[in-house]
Structure 1
Amino acid sequence: MSAPGGSAQPLSQKALRLLVADLAGKIDRLEHEVEQLRLANSNLRLENQALKDEIARLKHLPPRPPFNPSGMEKATQPRPAGPGRRPGRGAKRDRVTREVTIPVEAPPGSRFKGYKTVVHRDLVLVAEVVRYKRERWVTPEGQTLIAPLPIGITGGFGPNVRRFCLALHTQGQVTTERLTDLLNGIGLAISKREVVRLLTSDLELFEQEDRAILQAGLVSSPYLTVDDTGARHARRPAVTTQIGGERFCVFRTSRSKSRLNFLTLLRGGCEDYVANEAALDYLRRQPVEAAVIARLSQLQDQVFSSQMEWWQHLLRCSINIFDRPLLRLLDEAATWGALRHHGLMANTVVVSDDAGQFRVAQHALCWIHAERHLQKLMPASPKQANAVELVREAIWCFYRGLKLWKQSPSPGGERAFRRQFDKIFGLRTGYQELDELLARLARRKGELLRVLERPEIPLHTNASENDLRAWVIKRKISGGTMSA
Structure 2
Amino acid sequence: MLDDLQLDQIADPQLREVIRRLMNLVEQLSAENQQLREENQRLRDENNRLKGEQGQPTFPKARAVPTDHSSEAERRVPRGRVKQAKNATIPIDREETREVDRDLLPPDAEFKGYEEVIVQDVAVHTDNVRFSKEKWYSPSQQRTYLADLPTGYDGQFGPTLKALIWIWYFASQMTEPKIAEFLHHLGIPISEGQIANLLIKQQDERHAEKDAIAEAAIAASPWQQTDDTATRVNGKAHHCHVISNPLASVYYTLPGKDRLSVLDALRNERPRTYLLNTEADAYLDRMALSAGVRRNLVHLPRDIVLDETTMTALLAQHVANAGPRQQTWIREAMTVAAYHAEVEFPVIRLLLCDDAPQFVGLTEELALCWVHDGRFYKKLRPRFGVHLTALTTFERDYWAFYRELLAYRAQPTEVERVRLGTAFDTLFARVTGYDDLDARIAKTQAKKDALLLVLVHPEIPLHNNASELACRARVRKRDVSHGPRTAEGAKAWDTGMTIVETAKKLGVSFYAYIHDRISGAMQMPALADLITERAKTLNLGASWAEPDLPPTY
Matched residues in 1 for 2:355 and 2:132: separation?
59
Counterpart of 1:364 in structure 2 is 367
Distance 1:458 1:128, change over 3 A: farther
- TM-score, normalized by length of structure 2? 0.67
Is 1:94 the counterpart of 2:89? The answer is: yes
- Deviations along 1:353-384, one digit per CA (max 9) or x if unpaired, are 21121232121111111011112333343222
- Deviations along 1:101-149, one digit per CA (max 9) or x if unpaired, are 96999xxxx9999x97765544444543344443322233221122334
1:422 and 1:442 in contact (8 A); partners too: yes
* Partner SS state of residue 305, structure 2: strand
Identity %: 24
Is 1:42 the counterpart of 2:31? The answer is: yes
Is 1:349 the counterpart of 2:350? The answer is: yes
* Partner SS state of residue 89, structure 2: coil
Counterpart of 1:15 in structure 2 is none
Of 232-241 and 164-173, the range deviating more from structure 2:
164-173
Matched residues in 1 for 2:411 and 2:83: separation?
23
Distance 1:377 1:77, change over 3 A: closer
2:243 and 2:250 in contact (8 A); partners too: yes
Q: CA deviation at 1:386?
A: 1.8
Matched residues in 1 for 2:66 and 2:343: separation?
42
Matched residues in 1 for 2:427 and 2:175: separation?
50
Q: Over the residues paired in the alignment, what is the CA RMSD in angstroms?
A: 4.1
Report 1:242-261 matches (<5 A): 242-261=242-261
Is 1:458 the counterpart of 2:461? The answer is: yes
- Deviations along 1:26-69, one digit per CA (max 9) or x if unpaired, are xxxxx99999987675345323543677699999xxxxxx9734
Q: CA deviation at 1:345?
A: 4.9
Q: Which has the larger radius of gyration?
A: 1
Relative contact order higher in (CA < 8 Å, ≥ 6 apart): 2
Matched residues in 1 for 2:192 and 2:375: separation?
45
Of 188-197 and 45-54, the range deviating more from structure 2:
45-54
Report 1:207-226 matches (<5 A): 207-226=207-226
- TM-score, normalized by length of structure 1? 0.76
2:428 and 2:442 in contact (8 A); partners too: yes
Matched residues in 1 for 2:197 and 2:399: separation?
50
* Partner SS state of residue 347, structure 2: coil
Report 1:164-179 matches (<5 A): 164-179=164-179
Is 1:374 the counterpart of 2:388? The answer is: no
Counterpart of 2:268 in structure 1 is 268
Is 1:281 the counterpart of 2:279? The answer is: yes
Matched residues in 2 for 1:36 and 1:419: separation?
33
The one-letter code of the counterpart of 1:46 is: Q
Q: CA deviation at 1:182?
A: 2.0
Matched residues in 1 for 2:215 and 2:44: separation?
41
Residue from 453, 474, 490 that aligns with 1:471:
474
Distance 1:264 1:313, change over 3 A: same
Q: CA deviation at 1:421?
A: 0.8
1:367 and 1:460 in contact (8 A); partners too: yes
Q: CA deviation at 1:213?
A: 2.1
Matched residues in 2 for 1:132 and 1:388: separation?
73
Report 1:172-211 matches (<5 A): 172-186=172-186, 188-211=188-211
Query: Structure 2 unaligned runs (5+)?
Result: 1-19, 50-64, 101-109, 488-553
Report 1:78-157 matches (<5 A): 78-81=77-80, 85-87=81-83, 94=89, 96=91, 98=93, 100=95, 120-139=119-138, 140-157=140-157
2:275 and 2:334 in contact (8 A); partners too: yes
Counterpart of 1:303 in structure 2 is 305
The one-letter code of the counterpart of 1:284 is: A
- Deviations along 1:332-359, one digit per CA (max 9) or x if unpaired, are 2333314641544535421112112123
* Partner SS state of residue 78, structure 2: coil
- How many residue pairs get aligned? The number is 437
The one-letter code of the counterpart of 2:67 is: N
Distance 1:36 1:402, change over 3 A: closer
Matched residues in 2 for 1:400 and 1:158: separation?
52
Matched residues in 1 for 2:323 and 2:334: separation?
16
1:274 and 1:334 in contact (8 A); partners too: yes
Distance 1:462 1:321, change over 3 A: farther
Matched residues in 1 for 2:134 and 2:40: separation?
71
Counterpart of 2:71 in structure 1 is 72
The one-letter code of the counterpart of 1:223 is: W
The one-letter code of the counterpart of 1:346 is: V
The one-letter code of the counterpart of 1:225 is: Q
The one-letter code of the counterpart of 2:329 is: L
- Deviations along 1:360-412, one digit per CA (max 9) or x if unpaired, are 21211111110111123333432222222111111110111222322333443
Counterpart of 1:415 in structure 2 is 418
1:136 and 1:144 in contact (8 A); partners too: yes
Distance 1:51 1:94, change over 3 A: farther
Counterpart of 1:397 in structure 2 is 400
Q: CA deviation at 1:248?
A: 1.6
- Deviations along 1:242-265, one digit per CA (max 9) or x if unpaired, are 222222222222221101111122
Matched residues in 2 for 1:263 and 1:201: separation?
28
Q: CA deviation at 1:309?
A: 0.8
Q: CA deviation at 1:178?
A: 1.7
Is 1:430 the counterpart of 2:433? The answer is: yes
- Deviations along 1:174-216, one digit per CA (max 9) or x if unpaired, are 2222211222345544333422332343333333322232222
Q: CA deviation at 1:425?
A: 1.0
* Partner SS state of residue 382, structure 2: coil
Matched residues in 1 for 2:233 and 2:45: separation?
18
